[in-house]
Structure 1
Amino acid sequence: MPRPKKKRKVNNPPKMLGFKPFGIAFCETENIMMQYDEYETVKLVIYDDMPQDEAADKMEVSRPTLTRIYNSALKKIAQAFVEGKSIMIKGGNFEFEDDWYKCKKCFKLIMGIENHTKCGDCPSYNDDELVNLNK
Structure 2
Amino acid sequence: MPNQRRQRKIQSPPPMDGFKPYGVRMKNMEKVILLFEEYEAIRLIDHEDLNQEEAAARMDVSRPTFTRIYKKARQTVAKALVEGKALLIEGGTYISENYWVRCGKCSKLTTAPDPVQNCPHCHSDKMKNIHQPE
1:130 equivalenced with 2:114 (yes/no): no
Structure 1 unmatched ranges of 5 or more: none
TM-score normalised by length of structure 2? 0.86
- Indicate if the aligned counterparts of 1:8 and 1:93 stay in contact, CA closer than 8 A: yes
CA RMSD for the aligned pairs? 2.1
Matched residue type, 1:16: M
User: 1:81 matched to which residue of 2?
Assistant: 81
- Cα deviation, 1:70-99, whole Å, max 9, x if unaligned, reads 000000111111111110000000112322
Once the 2 structures are TM-superposed, how far is the Cα of residue 131 of structure 1 from its aligned partner? Answer: 1.7
Percent identity over the alignment?
Answer: 39
TM-score normalised by length of structure 1? 0.85
Going from structure 1 to structure 2, the CA distance change for 1:20 and 1:62 (only over 3 Å counts) comes to same
Structure 2: distance between partners of 1:77 and 1:86: 10
Aligned residues: 130
Q: Secondary structure at the match of 1:46?
A: helix
Going from structure 1 to structure 2, the CA distance change for 1:17 and 1:63 (only over 3 Å counts) comes to same
Matched residue type, 2:127: L
User: 2:104 matched to which residue of 1?
Assistant: 104
Q: Secondary structure at the match of 2:102?
A: strand
User: 1:13 matched to which residue of 2?
Assistant: 13
